[in-house]
Amino acid sequence: MHVSWQQLRSVTLAQAIEHGDGEHTLVSQTEWDEATRQAVAAARGRGVSRVGVADVVLERAADVVARAAGRDATVAALQRPGARARWLARGLPLVALLLGLVLDRIANAHRVDLLSPPLLAVLGWNLAIYALLLWHAWHRPAGEHGTLAALQHWVLRRQVRGGRRGLAARIAADFYARWSALALERFTQQAACVLHLSAAAWAAGIALSLLLRGLVVSYRFGWESTFLDATQVHAIVGLLFAPLTGLFGLAPFSLPEIAATQNFAGEGAAGSRWVWMYVGLLALVVVLPRLLLAAWAGWRQAQLARQCTLDTQGSDFDSLRQALPADLLLGLLCATPAQQQTLATLLALHADQGTLASVHGDSLRFIEPTATPVDAVIAWGDGPVPEPPPTWMHAPRLALGGTEFGPSWVQDDVLFERLAALLPRQQAALARLQQAWQAGNETRFAQSTQALAAHLRACAALVQAGQDAAHYTRLLQELDSTLARLHGYGAPPAQAPRQLPAPTPVTPTRTGDGAALAMGTSAGAAAGAAAGAKVGAMIDLGTGGMTLGVGTALGALLGGTTAWALRSLQKKGEKKDTTDELLRHMTEAACTRYLVLSHLGRLPTRQADDLGARWHAEVTGTVAAHWPQLTAALQADPAPADPLLPLLQAQLRGILQRSWAPRSLE
C-alpha cells in the first residue's frame, strides 16, 4: 500500500499508542472502536464492498493520533517531524562554513605553502571518501547501518523535549523502535545530504578564508623541505594541480618557478596566482563533487518519501484486522427438510432479509447449495447430507448434530463457538455476530417474561375480583398471541371456543412439607389431563382453538391445568386456599406456555411431546418451591422495577439450561 511520508508516520504512531497504552488510558477502547467504525463507514461511502485493512488504516490512525495528541504533549511532538532535527540539518553546513573561515590554517597569515599539510589532508580525506563511496556502491553490505541507526535513534530522541515518564515514555520508546526500522533508509540519505553539504561548506570556508585574507595581507608563497628538491616538488605540484591545468587549460608551474620559490622567496602579484590555484582546486575536488553528491542524496530522500509503502498484511495489523467487519457466507447442507424450515424460522427472528448483522457492520448469511463460493460449509443433522457443489469442496467444513444447534435458543452459542474454531481469522467477527444473535434472544426472553408478568398480575386481579372464566380465556388468548408474535409465528387464528368436558374436581394432593408433587400440583390436574387428552394436540380450552402441534401428551397436561383453572373460576364461594391454588395453576400454565411457544418450529413433534411433559413437571416443582417469593412479588408494586421479572427469568432460564444440558441430549 503506497502512502505519504506523513501518513506512514501517523500509522506508526497509532501503532505505538495501541501497543504502549495497553490499558487504554490515553485513548479508550470505545474511542478506538468509534474510530474504526467511522473509517469503515467512510470506506463503504467510497463504494468498498468488503472492507480490508488498507481501506481504513489511514483514517483510523489519523483519528486516534488526533485524540491522543490533544491529551499528551509527547504524542503531539511525535506526530510531526521535530523542529530540532530540521534546524540540525540546516545548521550543520552553516557551522562548517564558519569553521572553515575561522579555523583555517592552511597558510599562516603571510604565506601560501605549496606543500601545505592541511590542504593535502583535506584533499586526501575527500578523495578517500569518494573511493569509499564507490566501493559501497559496488559492494554494498546488506543491512550495514549500525552507526547510522545509532545516530538516527539519537536524533529521534532529541525531537521530544523534557524527560518522559510512564505512559509517554512507553509510547515514545515504541515509536522510536518502529520508526527507526521504517525510516532508516531515508535517514541514511538525509544524513548523507547533510554531511556532503557540510564538507562542501568546510572547503568553501577555507577558500573564502584565503581570498578574504588576501585583501589585507601580501602573501609570501613557496615551499621548503629537508628531503625534497625542486624537481620532486615540481612533480608533486604538477600532479596536485593537474585537474585544473587539464580541464581549464591553465599554464602549469614550471620547474624554474618552483625553484625560485624555495624557502618562500616568491612574493608580490604572483602570489594571487597561487591563491586562485588553491581555491580552484578546492572547488573542483571538494566543493563541486560534494554538492553533486548532496543533490543526489536529496533526490533519493525525496524519492523514498514519495515511495513509502505499508505492509497491511503483516502481524502489526492483526488487532485492526480482527476489529474490521466481516462479510461471511456459509453454505448449509441439511440432513432433513425440517431443519431447513427450522433455520428459516431462526433467520426470520434474527436476520434482516436473511442477513444477520452486528453493530460493527459484520454480516452473516446462510445459503443452500449453489455455485457461489462460501467461507465455510455446515453439514447440519444426524443423517447423511447432500453432496456439496464443486465450488464448496475446498471450503472448511463443520459437522453439527441435529441436537447441538436449533432446538433451543440457549444452545445457539454452539454454532458460533464451533465456527470460531473452524475460522480462527474470523473469531472476533463471529464473536460480535454471536453477541448480536444472542442479544435478540435475550431481548425476546425479557419481553416474554414481561408479558408473563403482566399476564400473572391480570390473573391475580381476576381471581381477587371473582370474575368468570371468559375473562381468563381472553387473558390466555392475549398471552398466546403475544408470545407467538415475539417468536415469529404471528397471532393464533381466532376460532369459536369449544365446549370442553368438565374435569372431575379433586382436592390437590400435597407432600408432608407442603411442597407440590414434582409431577403435578394435584390429582385434579391429572383428571383434567384426561379431559385435555380428548381434544388431541390442540390446546383449545377457550383460547381460540390454537393448534400448537406439540403432541397429545403436552396438550393433555396443559389441558388439565387450564381446565382445572376454568372449573375453579366457575365455582363461587371457594375457600381462600383454593384461590391461592388457582393462581398457582395459572402461573404454571403461563410458564409452560412460554416454554412451548418459544420452541415452536424448532423441535420435531416427538421430541416436543417428551420435553413438554418434562417442562410441565419442572414448572410445577419450580413454582411450588418458589411460590412464597412469587406471591410476594405479585402483591408488590410493579413500579419502578417489577420484582416478578427476575424471579420468572431465573426460573425459566434454569429450566431451559437443565433441559439442554449434555446429559439431557444423550
Same domain, yes or no: 537 and 573:
yes
Quick one: pLDDT at residue 662?
Answer: 61
**Over the Cα atoms of the chain, what is R_g?**
45
Dist CA 8 CA 14 (whole Å): 10
Residue 599 located in a structural domain: yes
Same domain, yes or no: 472 and 612:
yes
Average pLDDT over residues 433-457: 94
pLDDT of 151 strictly over 70: no
pLDDT in tens, 199-241: 999 999 988 887 887 777 776 777 777 788 888 888 888 888 8
Quick one: pLDDT at residue 536?
Answer: 32
Please report which residue ranges of 261-377 form alpha helices under DSSP H.
270-282, 288-306, 318-323, 337-350
Same domain, yes or no: 102 and 226:
yes
pLDDT of 33 strictly over 80: yes
Same domain, yes or no: 293 and 331:
no
Residue 314 located in a structural domain: no
Residue 271 — pLDDT band, cuts 50, 70, 90? Answer: low
pLDDT of 534 strictly over 50: no
Same domain, yes or no: 138 and 268:
yes
Most confidently modeled of 37-46, 217-226, 247-256? 37-46
Residue 485 located in a structural domain: yes
Average pLDDT over residues 49-73: 90
Same domain, yes or no: 564 and 603:
yes
Beta-carbon contacts of 340 under 8 Å, excluding residues fewer than 6 positions away, are: 332, 334, 368
DSSP H helix total and E strand total for the chain: 24, 9
pLDDT in tens, 354-393: 889 888 888 899 998 988 999 999 998 888 889 999 999 9
| Cell 509527547 belongs to residue | 74
Quick one: pLDDT at residue 521?
Answer: 37
Residue 541 located in a structural domain: yes
Residue 662 located in a structural domain: no
> Does the CA dihedral 189-190-191-192 come out positive or negative?
positive
pLDDT in tens, 391-428: 999 999 999 888 888 888 888 999 999 999 999 988 88
Same domain, yes or no: 300 and 331:
no
pLDDT in tens, 603-649: 766 676 677 778 888 999 999 999 999 999 998 988 888 999 999 99
Q: How many structural domains does the chain have?
A: 3
Same domain, yes or no: 303 and 378:
no
Residue 477 located in a structural domain: yes
Percent pLDDT > 90 in the chain is 23
Residue 593 — pLDDT band, cuts 50, 70, 90? Answer: confident
Q: Which residue, 62, 22, 21, is CA-closest to 38?
A: 62
Residue 258 located in a structural domain: yes
Q: Which residue, 581, 602, 583, is CA-closest to 656?
A: 602
Same domain, yes or no: 351 and 482:
no
Backbone angles phi, psi at 394, to 5 degrees: -95, 0
Same domain, yes or no: 480 and 617:
yes
Question: pTM of the predicted model, to two decimals?
Answer: 0.63
Quick one: pLDDT at residue 546?
Answer: 37
Quick one: pLDDT at residue 152?
Answer: 52
Same domain, yes or no: 187 and 246:
yes
Quick one: pLDDT at residue 511?
Answer: 35
Residue 471 located in a structural domain: yes
Q: Domain span at residue 373?
A: 326-439
Dist CA 205 CA 282 (whole Å): 10
Dist CA 43 CA 51 (whole Å): 7
pLDDT of 497 strictly over 50: no
Same domain, yes or no: 188 and 298:
yes
pLDDT in tens, 456-481: 999 998 888 876 677 888 888 899 88
Are 40 and 51 in contact, with CB atoms under 8 Å apart?
yes
Quick one: pLDDT at residue 27?
Answer: 92
